[in-house]
Amino acid sequence: MTILDGKSLSSKIKENVKKDVENLQKNNITPGLAVVLVGSDPASSTYVNMKSRACKEAGIYSIVHEMPETISQENILEIIEMMNKNPNIDGILVQLPLPKQIDATAILEAIDPNKDVDGFHPYNVGRVVAGLDSFIPATPYGVMELLKEYNIDPKGKNVCVVGASDIVGKPMATLMLNANATVDICHIYTDNLKAHTLNADIVCVGVGKVNLITADMVKNDVVIVDIGVSRLENGKLVGDVDFENVKEKCSYITPSPGGVGPMTIAMLLKNTVKSARNRKC
């Protein structure tokens, strides 16, 4: 069993990003990332702080627009329009989830697709599906880079993606399909999840349910990518996989934390630099 070490790989990617930023700065371009944070959700605030810290370490200009929970949709749209027009901002992302009074789809669609470093705009979603160059959602992008680092080729493999969110599950399935895997997508309405996971050579799971995937649900030598994150009552962070028991059957497995999480931020930085490079062109 081999651990898919996302923490180590993310450090390598961040170092490369830092070098890319230094090269861009020789042409008087400093990549800029703007984040919209609405409300005071602790998890969102922590994640945004991690992004800001990573930007600073890589030399990327970063700004966070913090807004109260009660803010109107019109006010958020005004901020996004301002950032769309700002030539020094290469990436715009809106930290999800948003308060109930806000139409998240309308907010995401308002972002300039050329600055949509989260890859959530329908324009970029469509280009990913079509296999065209685009901004790829950071978490699935990170998973593919992690597999590549360990020479795990999805081509011809049976892949089961558990979770069908727009942010992770759907783009994850699309990237696997683009990599010539046979893809099975499971979700809350799937009957007999075990029947699907048992057939998979690679299982990618990200639903936020502790111990959803147990040892009896996977075959020997399976590759497990655990994208889920939950916090136990004792404060410990865990994934969706019963790691201690499932790892005995795996050829490769991601830890949680320390697997996919660090890759998400690394790929976000990489997308931001890509956007800045496009500005140079």
Whose CA is closest to 238, among 262, 224, 255? 255
Q: Which residues sit opposite 241 in a β-bridge?
A: 213
Single-letter residue type at 165:
S
| 145 Cβ contact list (under 8 Å, min separation 6) | 9, 13, 263, 267
Strands (E), 80-132: 91-94
Which string of b and e fits 136-147 if b means at least 16 CB within 10 Å?
bbbbbbbbbbbb
Single-letter residue type at 170:
K
Taking a C-beta distance cutoff of 8 angstroms, is the pair 18, 155 a contact? no
Instruction: Determine the Cα angle at 114 with ends 113 and 118, to 5°.
Output: 65
Catalytic residues: 51, 95, 118
| 109 Cβ contact list (under 8 Å, min separation 6) | 121, 122
Whose CA is closest to 194, among 207, 181, 203, 183? 203
The token duo for 77 is 């749209």
- DSSP letter assigned to residue 213: B
Q: Which residues sit opposite 65 in a β-bridge?
A: 36
For 45, other C-beta atoms within 10 Å of its C-beta total 15
